[in-house]
Structure 1
Amino acid sequence: MLQVIGLTSAPRRELPPAVNDLTFEAGPGQVTALLGAAGSGKTTALRLMLELEPGRGVTYFRGRPLHRIANPAREVGALLGDVPGHPARTAVGQLRMLCAAAGAPAARAVEMLEFVGLAGLGDQRLGTLSVGMDRRLGLASALLGDPHTLLLDEPAKGLSPLEYNWLFGVLRSHAARGGAVLYTTSDAKEAARTADRVVTIDRGRLMADQEAAEFARTRLRPRVAVRTPHAARLGVLVSREARAAQQSVEVVAEGGSRLSVYGSDCARIGETAFRHGILIHGLADEIGDTGPAPGPEAPPQPARAEAGTGAAAEAGTRAEGATRAAAEAGTGARWPASCAGAPATERAPLPSPLPLRPARSPVHALRYEVRRLLGTRSTFLVVTAVLAASVALSAFLAHTGSTPLPSVLAAWPDILPLPPAAFGAGLLGALAFGDEYRYPALAAARGTVPRRLGLLLAKLTVSAAAALLLALLAVAADAEALRLLYGPDLMHVPEKWPSMAASWGGLTVGCAWAGLLGAGVFRATAPGVAAVLAVPVVVTPVAQQVIVAPSARSVAGLPARLREVAWLEWPYEVDRWMVAAMRLVAEPVGTALALSLCALLCAYLLTGLRRKAHW
């Protein structure tokens, strides 16, 4: 059961709200259409239900608001516009990444691709998909977690008749299983034909909430659609006979060889054409909208024919088969069996349901983050660019001979605020949250990006591991390049290599975390990169002034004093590691990184708490 109570969007400046006190229900086992013209607030209403926009009111999914649901992907499946994924990510990679967020096994990604007819296109990039493929992949994403409720925004927009029929067959099957389906449309005929209940809104307000039969009776009127090469002549004859019989019949020329006749039926039109020897190519009972006609973007609607010539039916079957063959040949996609010309009300078989188990979302946060990191080429491009720049700078510094060996191996000249490896780690960290907000794959889970502690910890862990690996690769590549260029005499192991390695690793990890938290606070990649650069440019000089300033107190002997007040005894070896850590933090860059990370982490947590309190 989907219950919408008093939804009202937050207006900007003095503009009226796009959605104003909207209240209705979408029951289980039903397909509900949210009908309205363009600009009536349909999309805004869906975004308010998913808590993607600020506003008032509440939406209950089986008695619970979205932010109170532990695993939203198992409760709500949403499709708003195109598939919200990185254009460079593959179709199967996108679904596998979402499987980790939904707590579904990775094998379900292949199962869903086969279900929507994209089994042969799993390696195709999202940016190259056609409209029909994108819609099918979006429906696969929405059904991935086996949700109870489906929220779809204009799902049939731009689809061919075959895809149109298959789509609504899937929605009908989901409702027959006990789920609730809510989709938006601007076509009243589509709503009457495919929905069980029609909710009509205008300028964000509820206008009507009706059963589909009542809606068709009050909003639509029957008509006879005629296709004939003698449309003008037949129209004159039908009008003349109607006047002679004193019947109210309206004939509307639709252009070319099509007529729409209101107030009559197929039998009377067929008899008139037969008596006057007029050839009929098509004759069908349809329903017509009494309101404004749908725009040019409305998909072609299959007529529910009750009468017609055998030649016309056979020609239509051949044309449909040719269209299907052309589509398969042009795209390489295999159509699902339920898409082969089935009527819109025919049910399509759904994949097997997932086993029920309590879990939080993302369930497999580490798996999700690893797939997100390695699923696009940007990660490998950043690593390649960092290694190339590091090797070039290291060779140049070694050639001048005035730079200490640790700085040469780190490729860190004095004129640069950060070495390439540290900056690359910060960029990867910024992309960890920046891509989430630019391509919100987790939009239906909780806001644009769910503020789950598990997701944050997973991003911190994976970004730290990536930073350490990048730091190790950079040093190894620099050392090997120097050995090839200048021989083995230049290379020797420094005496204090453990502390240098710890300082190098701490710098790269700190930059990665600064970029990640900066992008998470400001919801974009660029602020994350700015947060990384602000550490050496702005924060480090301030920290250096504080550290070099004369002081009257010292923290020397802190480990021994901690041992006195601690409940547990630890080995004396720990004291040495504590002193080494204190020396690292006492460095200007270490102090600046520590202060920046604390500030960014507090800001991230505060913005998350503020958002939860707002909802």
Structure 2
Amino acid sequence: MLQAIGLTSSPRRGLPVAVDDLTFEARPGHVTALLGAPGSGKTAALRLMLELDSGRGVTYFRGRPLHRIRHPAREVGVLLGDVPGHPARTVRGQLRMLCAAAGVPASRADELLETVGLAGLRDQRMGTLSLGMDRLLALASALLGDPHTLVLDAPAEGLSPREECWVHGLLQSHARQGGTVLYTTADPKEAARAADHVVTIEHGRLVADQSADDFSRTRLRPRVAVRTPHAARLAAVVGREARAAGRSVEVVSEASGRLSVYGSTCAEIGDAAFRHGLPVHQLADEVADTGPAGVMTPTGHAHGEREVAPQPAARASGSEPLPSIRRRPARSPLRPLRYELRRLLGVRTATLVMAIVLVASVGLSVLLARSGHAQLPKVLAAWPSSLPLPPAAIGAGVLGAVSFGDEFRYPALAAGRGTVPRRLGLLLAKLLVSAGVTLVLALAVVLAAAEALHLVYGDDLLRIPPNPVAMGASWGALTVGCAWAGLLAAGVFRVATAGVAAVLAVPVLVVPLVQNVLTGSGSRPIDGLPGRLRELMWPRWPHETDRWVAVVVRVVTHPVGTALSLSLSVLICAYLFTSLRSRVRW
């Protein structure tokens, strides 16, 4: 049972509210159509029900509001607009990623592609889909969690008549299995043909709440469509013969020689035209829409609809006001690590960035070795003094920035909200995956550079440095730190460009500031810090640990390491602050 009670959207400056005290219900086992002309408030009502827009009222899905449902995707399937997601992602990849978000097996994606008829397009990119294919993919996304309730905004839009008939058959099948279906439409004939119950709204207010049979009887009228070059003469003949026979016939003249005749049949109109020698170019039975006003009987209520009491006045007289509807952040993926891996590997961005970094690093390593002035670690890292950061660190920052940047640009997790959830599970998954990819990139750069130097210059340049552990730790920490800085900055500022800018700001702005502080008169050397820490610790750690502590201290106290640590600390605080602020706001 879906119950919408007193839905009222927030007022807009200088404009009437889109939804005004709308109350209706959709029963299980029935397909309910929310009917209204474009601009009548259908989509706005759905967004209020799904807590995507702010306003007043309450919507219960089997007795619980949406924010009280632990796993919404398994209770409510939603179709609103186009399918959100990266246009370069494949149809199957998009559904598999959403399966991880909904916590259902990945095999569910293939099942639904077969169900909606997109199995042959599973490897097609989302950006190349037609409108009809996109609607079918959106329907498959809504069905991923096998929900009890379906809330669909114009599910048949852009479909062929055959596909439209199939979609309505699918909705009827879902309802026959005990599910609840609510969908919007602007076509009264479609509502009468495909729905069991029709709720009509106009200007955001309820006009009629009827069964499909009562709706068809009170709003849809049969008529005869006639097209003739002598429309005026035929209208006069039909009217004169109807009055002579004592029948009630209404003739309405339209443009281009067209007549709409109510209360007659094609046979009667054809016989009258033949008797008077009037040519007829079109003669057909049709069903006409009388409009929302035509639903009302002289007593003021539609035949067969329930009477709607004046809700605002009733509440003002002593009832408790309805609660406010607050826009709430989307839920985190139920399987965040699996979701993040499918998000990263579903497009070619990561592969392209890593390939560019490898090519640039190998080229710079060969050029640095040829100059003969750079040290071997700088050569292997492809870090000339003219660059603020090596290509691997910049590439790691780009990968981290895209990790959150694509979520905001193509919000697959939070359609309609323009944001992504700032939950701990998703953040940790992104940090872990970005760190793993970055370490692979850092190792690949060093190995590729070493192999290139071996091929070009032989083994003369390749000598094992005296402190390989410290250098390896420094190299890995630099690349991972850049990836995390880009990731956190993109999460705070909601754009990938901010993440890349935060990475480049470390050597350009933060490092000079740190160097000024470290070289100041009040700075103290850190030599012997591991030994002093060992003396303070209880129990005492082994002496072998001193070397590892010294490596960590050396990495952190390097100007770039210190600057990166400082930047990460600031970004983590900013991320937590914006996360807490968003939770308080909602």
TM range (shorter): 0.7 to 0.9
Which residue is 2:96 aligned to? 96
Q: Deviations over 1:285-321 (max 9, x none)?
A: 634233599xxxxxxxxxxxxxxxxxxxxxxxxxxxx
Map of 1:221 onto structure 2: 220
CA–CA distance in structure 2, aligned partners of residues 199 and 291 of structure 1 = 11
Shift of 1:273: 7.9
How do 1:262-281 residues align onto structure 2 when only pairs under 5 Å count?
262-264=262-264
Q: How far is 1:162 from its partner? A: 0.8
Q: CA deviation at 1:241?
A: 3.0
Answering whether residue 21 of structure 2 is matched by residue 27 of structure 1, we say no
CA contact (8 A) 2:89 2:126 kept: yes
SS at match of 1:181: strand
- What is the CA distance between 1:57 and its match in structure 2? 4.7
User: Are 2:572 and 1:601 equivalent residues in the alignment?
Assistant: yes
Unaligned runs of 5+ in 1: 294-359
Matched, 1:173 2:173: yes
Equivalent of 2:544, from 564, 573, 578? 573
1:342-357 paired onto structure 2 within 5 Å: none
Aligned partner of 1:587 in structure 2 is 558
Partner Cα separation in structure 2 for residue 116 and residue 486 of structure 1: 59
Using structure 1 for the length normalisation, give the TM-score: 0.79
- Aligned residue for 1:86? 86
Q: 1:429 to 1:31 in 2, by over 3 A?
A: same
Residue number in structure 2 paired with 1:426: 397
The residue type equivalent to 1:146 in the other structure is: D
Q: Please give the alpha-carbon distance, in whole angstroms, between the structure 1 residues aligned to 2:541 and 2:446.
A: 34
Q: Report how many aligned residue pairs link the two structures.
A: 548
* Structure 2 counterpart of 1:478: 449
Q: Structure 2: how far apart are the matches of 1:370 and 1:119?
A: 23
1:286 is matched with 287
Say which one has the larger Rg: 2
SS of aligned partner of 2:243: helix
Task: Tell me if the contact between 1:559 and 1:579 (Cα under 8 Å) persists in the aligned partners.
Answer: yes
The amino acid of 1:288's aligned partner reads D
1:427-576 equivalence runs, <5 A: 427-443=398-414, 448-551=419-522, 571-576=542-547
- Displacement, 1:16? 5.0
Q: Is the contact made by 2:207 and 2:292 (CA closer than 8 Å) also made in structure 1?
A: no
Change in Cα spacing, 1:214 to 1:22, as seen in structure 2 (3 Å) is: same
Which of 382, 400, 405 aligns to 1:411? It is 382
SS at structure 2 position matched to 1:488: coil
Give the fraction of aligned pairs with identical amino acids, expressed as a percent: 66
CA contact (8 A) 2:405 2:490 kept: yes
1:252-331 matches, within 5 Å, as 252=252, 260-264=260-264, 283-284=284-285, 286-290=287-291
Inter-CA distance 41–285: structure 2 relative to 1 (3 Å threshold): closer
The 1:605/1:536 distance shift into structure 2, 3 A limit, reads: same
Three-state SS of the structure 2 residue aligned to 1:584 is helix
Which segment is superposed worse, 137-146 or 244-253? 244-253
| In 1, Cα distance between equivalents of 2:540 and 2:74 | 47
Secondary structure at 1:466 match in 2: helix
Q: CA deviation at 1:604?
A: 2.4
Residue aligned with 1:489, SS: coil
Residue-by-residue CA offset, 1:178-197 (whole Å, 9 max, x unaligned): 22222222233333333333
Counterpart position of 2:47: 47
Partner of 2:387: helix, strand, or coil? coil
Q: How does 1:164-243 map to 2 (within 5 A)?
A: 164-218=164-218, 220-226=219-225, 238-243=238-243
Q: Equivalent of 2:358, from 384, 387, 393?
A: 387
Judged with a 3 Å threshold, the aligned counterparts in structure 2 of structure 1 residues 496 and 41 are, in CA distance, closer, same or farther, namely farther
Judging changes above 3 Å, is the alpha-carbon distance between structure 1 residues 248 and 462 closer, same or farther for their aligned structure 2 residues? same
Structure 2: how far apart are the matches of 1:383 and 1:560?
41
Question: Retained in 2: the 8 A contact 1:76–1:444?
Answer: no
Q: Distance in 1 between matches of 2:558 and 2:530?
A: 19
Residue deviations 1:179-234 (CA, integer Å, cap 9, x gap): 2222222233333333333344444444544444444444x131135578899587
For the structure 1 residues 589 and 25, does the alpha-carbon distance in structure 2 shift closer, same or farther, using more than 3 Å as the test? farther
Contact (CA 8 Å) 1:73, 1:445: kept in 2 or not?
Answer: no
Deviations for 1:527-575, whole angstroms, at most 9, x for unmatched residues?
2222222222222222222223233667777666766777776544334
Render the CA deviation track for 1:474-504: whole Å, top value 9, x for unaligned: 1222222222222221222211121111111
1:566-592 deviation line (CA, Å, top 9, x unaligned): 777654433432332122111222222
Measure, in 1, the Cα distance between the counterparts of 2:391 and 2:205.
Answer: 55
Structure 1, 71-80 or 25-34: larger mean CA deviation: 25-34
CA distance in 2, matches of 1:568, 1:273: 110
Give the distance between the partners of 2:200 and 2:585, measured in 1 at CA: 29
- Supply the AA of the counterpart residue of 1:523: R
Give, in angstroms, the shift of residue 257 of structure 1.
9.9
Note the C-alpha offset of 1:165.
0.9
Q: Using a 3 Å threshold, how does the CA distance of structure 1 residues 532 and 70 change in structure 2: closer, same or farther?
A: farther
> For structure 1, which segment, 62-71 or 477-486, has the greater mean C-alpha deviation from structure 2 after superposition?
62-71
Q: Is the 8 A contact 1:102 1:362 kept in 2?
A: yes
- How far has the Cα of 1:143 moved from its partner? 0.6
CA contact (8 A) 1:188 1:289 kept: no
2:157 match? 157
Residue 313 (structure 2) aligns with = none
Matches within 5 A, 1:53-92: 53-55=53-55, 57-92=57-92
CA contact (8 A) 1:539 1:592 kept: yes
Contact 1:266 1:285 (8 Å CA) reproduced: no
In structure 2, the gaps of 5 or more residues are 295-330
Code of the residue aligned with 1:110 in structure 2: it is D
Distance 1:460 1:184, change over 3 A: same
Question: Partners of 1:209 and 1:564 in 2: how far apart?
Answer: 80
Task: Indicate conservation of the 8 Å contact 2:153/2:185, yes or no.
Answer: yes
Sort the Cα spacing of 1:148 and 1:607 in 2 relative to 1 into closer, same or farther, 3 A: farther
Rounded Cα–Cα distance in structure 2 between residues aligned with 1:453 and 1:262: 65
**Counterpart for residue 297 of structure 1:** none
Do residues 376 (structure 1) and 347 (structure 2) align?
yes
**1:140 Cα deviation from its structure 2 partner:** 0.9
Q: How many Å separate the matches in 2 of 1:6 and 1:203?
A: 15
With over 3 angstroms needed to count, the CA separation of the structure-2 counterparts of 1:457 and 1:41, relative to structure 1, is same
> Match for residue 325 of structure 1?
none
Distance 1:118 1:43, change over 3 A: same
2:305 corresponds to: none
Pairwise CA distance, 1:373: 0.9
Shift of 1:462: 0.8
Larger displacement relative to structure 2 (564-573 or 31-40)? 564-573
- Secondary structure of the residue aligned to 1:549 is coil
Mapped contact 2:226–2:260 kept (Cα < 8 A): no
SS at 1:158's partner residue? coil
The worse-fitting range, judged by mean Cα deviation, of 423-432 and 284-293 is 284-293
Cα distance, 1:111 vs. partner?
A: 1.3
1:36 is aligned to 36
- Would you say the 8 A contact 2:87–2:126 is kept in 1? yes
Aligned to 1:137: 137
Aligned match of 1:330: none
Is the Cα–Cα contact under 8 Å of residues 35 and 188 in structure 1 kept in the other structure? Answer: yes
Separation of aligned partners in 2, 1:267 and 1:572: 106
8 Å Cα contact 2:224-2:262 kept in structure 1:
no
Letter paired with 2:157: K
Task: Supply the AA of the counterpart residue of 2:156.
Answer: A
- The 3 A distance-change label for structure 1 pair 606 and 124 is same
- CA separation in 1, counterparts of 2:120 and 2:380? 47
Choose 161-170 or 7-16, whichever is displaced more: 7-16
The 1:10–1:553 alpha-carbon spacing in structure 2 relative to 1, beyond 3 Å, is farther
